[in-house]
């Protein structure tokens, strides 16, 4: 019976009910030690029986640096299902658990692999996964489980986490959370033994502050020693003191065995007994601990409450703890895989001074952790190795490695601290460059673009090899992109001066970046090469395609080679899906969505951007959360959905951390286009003028918003406000040499006059549009031409243009533009067609549409799940939701419909 927890139990029961019906969910229980989190997990396990499989794990403070320790403990019962996972996920999870050689793959793929294994384990009956003391999970396990929890949808899985306040860390953003507080007085009184005297009862209630564990444990402590709970101490410390008394009354050998079990942490009976035997304790010494209630029954060294483990460790003198860690290391001697890493950590915890051999062993453990994707654990191992290293240069090198691993793990603040510590220890140019690269990465991802820019430009100027300098300047280019043209010019000049060898993998990318950017700055440049040839050279030189070509795929947009962007990103997205590289996907999906949007494929762009946004949120890539939200705001503006547009724009600007959100320029364009579509030309002009003349005018969105600015300025009769942006746009269109850029330039000329040249400009623009596969821009030109013809009383000719424009706008769901074309058509005296009904696909969500399209191509649910990083059950769930919307009975009817 749990008193005072009806709300939490109802929330858990709702999750269990949902799982019985095929839905998934997660909940985080937070609160101080002893507040009842573990009791709620126990109650959930009882409520789930017998319908559910139940798996359980707990974080352990001493294992918080061992990669995948918590995840492996939780998923151990499901490891026989590994073969059911897609190959990249299977390889990376088996490698992480030491069941196979470490597999190259994105660390974020591990979270999706964990999600897949949980889903597979729930394929026969619902699954309840319980994780206690989540604040002590190792970083790799916590990250993987949080990614899994956020992406679970329709698998019948419930994930419950319990995390203690004030200790460790378990940032569970995006998950439902309930914070437990003390019990109300009436409920608290029911937990205090009735036999307790009135004075003692009052004291217990006053000391416990409604903490259930305190209410249960303090009376026993009072009976043993009246001053065991001095009120000046925090409650967790008072509880630990109460436990100390209970532990002290146990036989010495039992106390030794408890200390070994607490330090070992995983509950591995064989390891615990082997280490305990070396210290004079044996299996028979388990019984008194079980009888006292410190250990759960069943013959295994599992503590009944996490605070018992903490109390055992804290009360032991230092020499005893060191002896226990040495004994555990000896018990693990000769072990391989994760057990070998545990041995290294126990030796490190037993060390009392510098130890070169032990430092070498920890560095090897760190390398193994990195190979398995456990970057947080690797960072801790490198750092501990550095502390144990007698040699100064080797210590600095290991601090740099620790900083790089921490940055890879997303621990940007810790990476900056380690890099800063290493920086004061060395004057080696290459080491300083690497250190500053780490610091710059942390600054950039925190949104401090000025700091990142300064660090990277300085680092690239040191005595480092040109390829290293080029990669630093690539990142400096990204930082400068958000600062302004002056900073961009500095990076471009530095990049142009690098003596890169022709066969270096980064040389073709550097050349393309220069050819695409210099004209934007009003500089002369080499002709822009074909991106396909650059891709071939980069791959032929053995480059890391997903890293180096991602930079290229974004730079193709600068001068308007959108079709190249679409082709390259399409190839890279497919490659990333095949190898399980999740990290680059938000970047690539952003560029791909841009290319689709610019080609007028608005629905495709929405599907792509929605997937990218979900992945960016899951993986904490705040820059791309901002950018992708802003692109979706642009699509909502085109559809005339003001509420969705403004909400997405706000989300793009409200990204935690960055002072200058990456999506700012796109949101300006989106909101300006929304105003223009709804006839608010003055508001549109103000927004677009700020974008096209401000610090972001060189951005892709800043350049391409100029035709919208021209239209708004002409409508208001103030064409001069668009004069300078128009001149820049003309230079850009000439440098890019694209047919579609020339068509938009002619449209601007038609609007700006003189009126005698307008018709020729409109006609030439429409002729050019016909070969560009940009129907939306073609329709906008036809709309403006039709309006011009109607004003000249050439109604019959106007109707031809307006009808063509209306058809395109309606097909693309561009409601404001369709309404405008319909109004203009009515003004010509022609009959105005009714709004056409939206097609059946329009009622699908982006994810449903994505799944339906893949199913229509003949892919199975499992194939689709592998490609989209979902579970097969979630794919089936979305298909069954889509069928009624499409009016079909099954997937066999999809091919003809899509």
pLDDT digits (tens, 9 = 90+) for 803-862: 999 999 998 889 999 999 999 999 998 877 776 656 677 788 888 888 998 888 888 888
Instruction: Report DSSP letters for 229-257, one per residue.
Output: S-TTS-HHHHHHHHHHHHHHTS-HHHHHH
pLDDT at residue 712 greater than cutoff 90: yes
Q: What is the pLDDT of residues 723-745, one digit of tens each?
A: 999 999 999 999 999 999 999 99
Question: Distance from CA of residue 19 to its chain's centroid?
Answer: 25
Mean of the pLDDT values across residues 146-168? 89
Residue recorded with tokens 């969500």: 845
Q: pLDDT averaged over the chain?
A: 87
Give me the pLDDT at residue 237, please.
66
Give the whole-angstrom CA distance, residue 573 versus residue 552: 14
CA dihedral (612, 613, 614, 619) positive or negative:
positive
Q: Which residues have CB under 8 Å from 563's CB, separation 6+?
A: 595, 599
- Other Cβ atoms less than 10 A from the Cβ of 76: the count is 12
Which carries the bigger pLDDT value, residue 196 or residue 25? 25
| Contact between residue 507 and residue 496 where contact means Cβ atoms under 8 Å apart | no
- pLDDT of 893 reads 83
- For residue 352 the two structure tokens come to 């009392």
550 neighbors 586 (Cβ within 8 angstroms)? no
Q: What is the pLDDT of residue 701?
A: 95
| Residue 591 pLDDT > 60 | yes
In this prediction, residues 431-450 reach a mean pLDDT of 81
Give the C-alpha separation, 611 to 246, whole Å: 55
Q: Is the C-alpha dihedral spanning 644, 648, 654, 659 positive or negative?
A: negative
Separation of alpha carbons 302 and 325, rounded Å = 18
- Residue 106 pLDDT greater than 70, yes or no: no
Dihedral in degrees, nearest 10, Cα atoms 140, 143, 147, 152: 80
The token pair that represents 650 in the structure block: 């706000």
What's the pLDDT score for residue 348? Answer: 84
Q: Is the pLDDT of residue 235 over 70?
A: no
pLDDT-based confidence at residue 659 (cuts at 50, 70, 90): low
Element (H, E) at 31: strand 25-31
More confident residue, 95 or 26: 26
Lowest mean pLDDT among 297-301, 458-462, 638-642, 779-783: 297-301
Whose tokens are 């200390």? That residue is 259
Answering whether pTM is above 0.85, one says no
- Tell me the mean pLDDT in the region 345-374: 84
Please choose, from the candidates 326, 302, 378, the residue with its C-alpha nearest in 3D space to the C-alpha of residue 132. Answer: 302
Is pLDDT of 611 > 50? Answer: yes
Give 507-545 pLDDT, tens digit per residue.
Answer: 888 999 999 999 988 888 888 888 888 888 888 877 777
pLDDT at site 570: 93
Q: Give tens-digit pLDDT for 388-430.
A: 999 888 898 899 888 888 877 767 778 888 888 888 888 888 8
Tokens (6 digits) for 274: 């082997």
Residue 157 three-state SS: strand
pLDDT in tens, 8-55: 999 999 999 999 999 999 999 999 888 999 999 999 999 999 999 999
* Tens-place pLDDT, residues 674-694: 999 999 999 999 999 999 999
Q: Is the pLDDT of residue 435 over 50?
A: yes
Tell me which residue has tokens 């036999």: 195
Q: Is the Cβ–Cβ distance between 184 and 151 less than 8 Å? A: no
Q: What is the pLDDT of residue 638?
A: 95
Q: pLDDT at position 502, please?
A: 84
DSSP codes of every residue in 695-711: TTTTSHHHHHTHHHHHH
Q: Return the exposure string of 273-308: e unless at least 16 CB atoms fall within 10 Å of the residue's CB, then b.
A: bbbbeebebeeebbebbbebebbeeeeebbbbbbbb
CA 591 to chain centre: 17
Local confidence band at 231 (pLDDT 50, 70, 90 cut-offs) = very low
Residue 218 CA to residue 609 CA, distance in Å, equals 56
> What is the rounded distance in angstroms from the CA atom of residue 685 to the CA atom of residue 663?
20
d(CA 850, CA 589): 14
Are the C-beta atoms of residues 222 and 203 closer than 8 Å to each other? Answer: yes
Nearest to 566 by CA among 602, 583, 590: 590
Rounded to whole angstroms, how far apart are CA atoms 712 and 378?
Answer: 55
Ranked by mean pLDDT, the top range of 67-71, 195-199, 619-623 is: 67-71
């Amino acid at each position: 019976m749990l008193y005072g927890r009806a709300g939490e139990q109802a929330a858990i029961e709702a999750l269990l009910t949902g799982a019985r019906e095929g839905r998934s969910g997660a909940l985080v229980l937070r609160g101080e030690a002893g507040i009842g989190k573990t009791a709620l997990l126990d109650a959930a396990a009882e409520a789930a029986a017998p319908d559910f499989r139940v798996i359980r794990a707990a974080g352990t403070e001493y294992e918080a640096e061992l990669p995948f320790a918590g995840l492996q403990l939780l998923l151990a019962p499901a490891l026989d299902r590994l073969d059911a996972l897609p190959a990249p996920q299977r390889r990376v999870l088996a490698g992480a658990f030491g069941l196979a050689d470490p597999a190259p793959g994105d660390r974020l793929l591990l979270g999706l692999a964990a999600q897949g294994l949980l889903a597979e384990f729930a394929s026969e009956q619902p699954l309840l996964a319980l994780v206690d003391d989540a604040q002590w999970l190792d970083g790799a396990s916590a990250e993987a489980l949080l990614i899994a929890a956020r992406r679970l949808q329709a698998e019948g899985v419930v994930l419950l986490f319990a995390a203690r306040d004030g200790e460790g860390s378990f940032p569970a953003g995006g998950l439902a959370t309930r914070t437990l507080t003390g019990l109300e007085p009436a409920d608290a009184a029911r937990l205090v033994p009735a036999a307790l005297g009135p004075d003692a009862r009052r004291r217990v209630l006053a000391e416990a502050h409604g903490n259930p564990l305190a209410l249960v444990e303090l009376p026993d402590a009072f009976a043993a020693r009246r001053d065991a709970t001095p009120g000046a101490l925090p409650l967790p410390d008072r509880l630990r003191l109460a436990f100390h008394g209970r532990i002290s009354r146990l036989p010495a050998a039992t106390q030794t065995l408890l200390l070994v079990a607490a330090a070992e942490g995983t509950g591995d009976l064989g390891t615990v007994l082997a280490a305990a035997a070396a210290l004079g304790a044996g299996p028979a010494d388990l019984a008194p601990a079980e009888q006292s209630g410190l250990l759960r029954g069943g013959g295994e060294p599992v503590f009944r409450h996490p605070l018992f483990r903490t109390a055992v460790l804290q009360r032991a003198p230092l020499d005893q703890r060191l002896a226990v860690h040495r004994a555990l290391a000896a018990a693990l001697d000769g072990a391989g895989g994760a057990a070998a890493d545990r041995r290294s950590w126990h030796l490190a915890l037993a060390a009392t001074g510098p130890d070169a051999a032990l430092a070498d062993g920890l560095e090897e453990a760190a390398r193994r952790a990195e190979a398995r994707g456990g970057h947080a654990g690797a960072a801790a191992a490198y750092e501990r190795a550095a502390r144990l290293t007698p040699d100064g240069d080797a210590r600095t090198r290991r601090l740099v490695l620790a900083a790089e691993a921490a940055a890879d793990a997303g621990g940007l603040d810790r990476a900056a601290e380690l890099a800063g510590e290493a920086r004061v220890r060395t004057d080696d140019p290459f080491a300083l460059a690497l250190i500053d690269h780490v610091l710059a990465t942390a600054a950039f991802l925190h949104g401090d673009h000025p700091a990142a820019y300064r660090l990277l430009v300085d680092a690239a100027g040191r005595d480092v090899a040109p390829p290293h300098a080029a990669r630093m300047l690539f990142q400096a280019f990204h930082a400068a992109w958000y600062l302004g043209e002056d900073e961009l010019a500095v990076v471009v000049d530095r990049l142009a001066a690098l003596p890169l060898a022709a066969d270096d993998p980064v040389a073709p990318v550097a050349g393309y970046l220069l050819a695409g950017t210099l004209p934007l700055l009003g500089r002369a440049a080499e002709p822009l090469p074909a991106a396909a040839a650059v891709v071939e050279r980069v791959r032929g030189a053995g480059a890391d395609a997903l890293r180096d070509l991602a930079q290229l795929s974004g730079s193709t947009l600068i001068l308007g080679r959108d079709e190249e962007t679409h082709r390259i990103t399409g190839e890279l997205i497919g490659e990333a899906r095949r190898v399980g590289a999740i990290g680059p996907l938000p970047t690539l999906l952003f560029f791909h969505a841009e290319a689709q949007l610019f080609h007028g494929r608005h629905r495709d762009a929405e599907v792509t951007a929605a997937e990218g946004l979900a992945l960016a949120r899951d993986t904490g890539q705040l820059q791309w959360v901002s950018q992708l939200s802003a692109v979706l705001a642009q699509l909502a503006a085109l559809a005339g959905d003001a509420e969705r547009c403004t909400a997405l724009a706000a989300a793009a600007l409200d990204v935690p951390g960055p002072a200058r959100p990456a999506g700012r320029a796109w949101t300006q364009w989106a909101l300006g286009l929304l105003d223009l579509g709804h006839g608010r030309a003055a508001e549109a002009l103000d927004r677009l003028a700020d974008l096209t003349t401000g610090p972001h005018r060189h951005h892709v969105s800043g350049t391409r918003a100029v035709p919208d600015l021209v239209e708004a300025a002409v409508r208001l009769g103030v064409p001069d406000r668009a004069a300078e942006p128009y001149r820049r746009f003309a230079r850009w269109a000439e440098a890019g040499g694209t047919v579609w850029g020339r068509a938009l330039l002619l449209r601007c000329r038609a609007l700006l006059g003189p009126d005698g040249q307008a018709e020729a400009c409109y006609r030439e623009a429409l002729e050019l549009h016909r070969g560009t596969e940009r129907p939306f821009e073609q329709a906008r030109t036809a709309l403006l031409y039709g309006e011009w013809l109607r004003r000249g009383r050439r109604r019959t000719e106007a109707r031809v243009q307006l009808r063509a424009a209306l058809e395109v706008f309606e097909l693309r769901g561009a409601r404001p533009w369709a309404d405008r074309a319909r109004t203009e058509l009515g003004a010509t005296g022609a009959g105005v067609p009714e709004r056409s009904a939206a097609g059946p696909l329009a009622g699908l969500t982006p994810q449903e549409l994505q799944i339906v399209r893949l199913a229509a191509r003949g892919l199975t649910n499992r194939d689709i799940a592998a490609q989209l990083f979902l579970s097969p059950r979630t794919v089936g769930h979305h298909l069954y939701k889509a069928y009624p919307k499409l009016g079909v009975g099954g997937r066999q009817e999809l091919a003809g419909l899509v």
